[in-house]
Amino acid sequence: MKWIIITTLTLLSTLLQSKESYAPNYTEHVAYIYASTPIKYNMELENRKVRILHAIMAIECPKTPEQAKQAYWREGALGKLQQRPVMIAEVNRILGYNKYVHKDALDSTKAVEIFNIYQSFHNPNWDMQKAAYLWVAGSNYRNATKEQWNRMNRYWRLVKKQIK
């Protein structure tokens, strides 16, 4: 299982560092990697994870250096996934030790690891709508006000457009 996670993260980091958002032969690469693995896997779940990651990254990734600066000064958000210090603290709490620092959000590989740990803990089935709610509002999203629910639903609609 650990090997699958490491392989998936390596593949994702390679894809994220490419100039294109999506690799044209992504499915073939993943199918080859998993076919050569004796451990059972759930391809549908892995596919859903990647689709959610790419959709959220497409929305969150700053398009210009100025947008990145503004996001940092406004809310402390860093990297392609706009991870905030509270996210890093939550992932370290989940792990039980301080593995990540806020600057790790700038490293694509570590940012994806942080994203996967957070989503796997709070959303083990990787429900797409829940993933969007968790990312925009945090793990306490169920206690949101009406205004916050409206904001979360707007964000979910953006994510859904990116997934299709």
- Note the pLDDT tens digit of each residue in 116-133: 999 999 999 889 999 999
Predicted pLDDT of residue 8: 58
Compute the chain's Rg from CA coordinates. Answer: 16
Q: Which residues contact 110 (CB under 8 A, 6 or more apart)?
A: 100, 104
Helix (H, G, I), strand (E, B) or coil at 16: helix
Task: Dump pLDDT digits (tens) for 132-145.
Answer: 999 988 888 888 88
CB atoms near residue 50 (< 10 Å): 20
